[in-house]
Amino acid sequence: MWAPFALGKQKAGQAKACPYHITDLENAMNNSHYCPHSPEEISEMLAAIGVSGIEELFAPIPPELRAKTFNIPPGMSEFETYARMQAIVADNSSAMLNFIGGGFYDHVIPAVVDHLSGRSEFYTAYTPYQPECSQGTLQALFEYQTAICRLTGMDVSNASLYDGATACAEAAMMGLRVTGRNRIVVDGCLNPFSRQVLKTYLFNLKVEVVEIAPLDGTLNREELAKVLDDSVAAVLVQNPNFFGCVEDFSAIADQVHAVGALLVASVYPISLGLLKSPAEMGADIAVGDGQSLGNPLSFGGPSFGFITAKKALIRNMPGRIIGETIDKQGRRGYVLTLQAREQHIKRHKATSNICSNQGLYALRGLIFLSSIGRQGMVEMAALNRDKAEYAKAQLADIPGVTVLQSAPTFNEFTVFLPRPAAGVVADLLKLGIAAGVPLGDYYDDSANALVVTVTEKRTRKEIDHFAKELEAALCN
């Protein structure tokens, strides 16, 4: 028996009851490498393949291409790691009053979302390599597809993509495949991050990306009409757009279809409780980011993207699609369907070479939508709109502040400040208020413009406090 508290009573040299030498433990912890193998195991493996050492193993790789150093700190014990992580987390501001949107939103997450998605059957599983073995996962994703179709009004959905930005890019790729054309037209009001990811995707393809500069924070319809011709594969728009403006793209859909191109609408799912759906507007493909559906804000991710389309386009959809069927005995079952689109069958001609999905976050989206429900989505969207309208009125009352009035808005709107927005945001951050997204980084001549978001979580008191502090900051 080891009696730790008896040490003081023992004479020197008698402390042998300890099962290990403390220095050995420290060494083991401090030197716990990032490699799971012991030196003995490594020698054994090298001997088995007839190589004298690590140096010989890597000899075929030219020295200049080898990593000089991995530049990683020594290993830590579990306890040290935990303390370090806690210290990092402590740097986060958890009490910040959040008026930031721009694609990622601070919405309520019902407790059931964490509870159900945290179940180990869902939480620990990666994409199953024999998918039909995981009927529970497939059923959840099938129901996710159904929920997303009902939300957007579109015919078909895949089992999710990485995020909203890659979903935009995948939609553009669909347009290229379906039409066989090589021009993509993008509304400059589309989220700048999505536009950047789109350009990255298309960089090495012989595809021309035409961006239409925004007109008062909305799509410049005259410019669009000028660039639309039968070389255009797809037109990408966003609703509400990056300025918060809500637009009806129904007429645009007709124009786009008249030249044989596809209309891609990027939408903010929470807004669909209130706004005309992409299907109602005549979009061929609707995409978006699923963060707002039950996924927390955590430095930009993780999240999921959704992509939906008209049924005729299903064979050009990227990613996995779950189908419902019956087995030999007539029992309901779920399968991966239309796999001939995918890379394990169609290789380089696959509809996408990123066919993984964000299953866990899509599942959270499904649980969120199921628990909020149809009526709940309507009420939630109305709350967002009403609170944002209240905030808009409060901010418009501040001397020197004007609100962009070119279009109706949902829960996000653009204000013009009397001085550069970035500085104002920095001042308010010190007071615990995250005031919004300054537009100066993304658009020319927009340094004084700020996009403010008000979700259902903001109270009247918080909005009043924000307005008061903003006014004070602008007076200084």
- Please report, as ranges, the residues that interact with another protein according to CB under 8 A: 180, 315, 340-341, 345-346, 349
State the minimum distance, in angstroms, from the CB of residue 333 to another protein.
Answer: 17
State the minimum distance, in angstroms, from the CB of residue 346 to another protein.
Answer: 5
State the minimum distance, in angstroms, from the CB of residue 276 to another protein.
Answer: 32
CB 286 within 8 A of CB 267: yes
Query: With b meaning 16 or more CB within 10 Å and e meaning fewer, what string describes 130-164?
Result: ebeebeebbebbbbbbebbbebbbbebbbbbbbbb
State the minimum distance, in angstroms, from the CB of residue 347 to another protein.
Answer: 9
Complex with another protein: residue 87 or 326, whichever CB lies closer:
326
Complex with another protein: residue 352 or 455, whichever CB lies closer:
352
Beta bridge partners of 235: 185, 263
State the minimum distance, in angstroms, from the CB of residue 180 to another protein.
Answer: 8
Q: Which residues, in sequence order, are CB contacts of 281 under 8 Å at separation 6+?
A: 239, 248, 249, 250, 252, 253, 263, 265
Complex with another protein: residue 241 or 316, whichever CB lies closer:
316
CB 339 within 8 A of CB 348: no
Residue 60: CB atoms within 10 Å = 6
Would you call the peptide bond into 240 cis, given omega within 30 degrees of 0 as the criterion?
yes
Complex with another protein: residue 226 or 346, whichever CB lies closer:
346
For the beta sheet containing 437-438, the strands, ordered from the edge strand earlier in sequence to the opposite edge, are 402-403, 412-416, 449-453, 437-438
Rounded-to-integer distance, Cα 172 and Cα 264, Å = 8
Complex with another protein: residue 315 or 374, whichever CB lies closer:
315
Q: Which H helix or E strand runs over 412?
A: strand 412-416
Three-class SS of residue 267? strand
Complex with another protein: residue 103 or 175, whichever CB lies closer:
175
* Torsion-angle region of 100 (φ positive above 0: left; ψ -120 to 50: alpha; else: beta): beta
State the minimum distance, in angstroms, from the CB of residue 127 to another protein.
Answer: 21
State the minimum distance, in angstroms, from the CB of residue 254 to another protein.
Answer: 22
Rounded-to-integer distance, Cα 49 and Cα 472, Å = 72
Complex with another protein: residue 182 or 406, whichever CB lies closer:
182
Complex with another protein: residue 183 or 364, whichever CB lies closer:
183
State the minimum distance, in angstroms, from the CB of residue 340 to another protein.
Answer: 4
Three-class SS of residue 306? strand
Complex with another protein: residue 42 or 336, whichever CB lies closer:
336
Rounded-to-integer distance, Cα 302 and Cα 291, Å = 8
State the minimum distance, in angstroms, from the CB of residue 114 to another protein.
Answer: 40
State the minimum distance, in angstroms, from the CB of residue 178 to another protein.
Answer: 11
Read off the tokens for 26.
């420290």
Complex with another protein: residue 340 or 382, whichever CB lies closer:
340
185, exposed or middle or buried, with CB in 10 Å at 0-12, 13-18, 19+?
buried
How are beta strands 285-289 and 262-267 bridged, if at all?
Answer: parallel
CB 97 within 8 A of CB 299: no
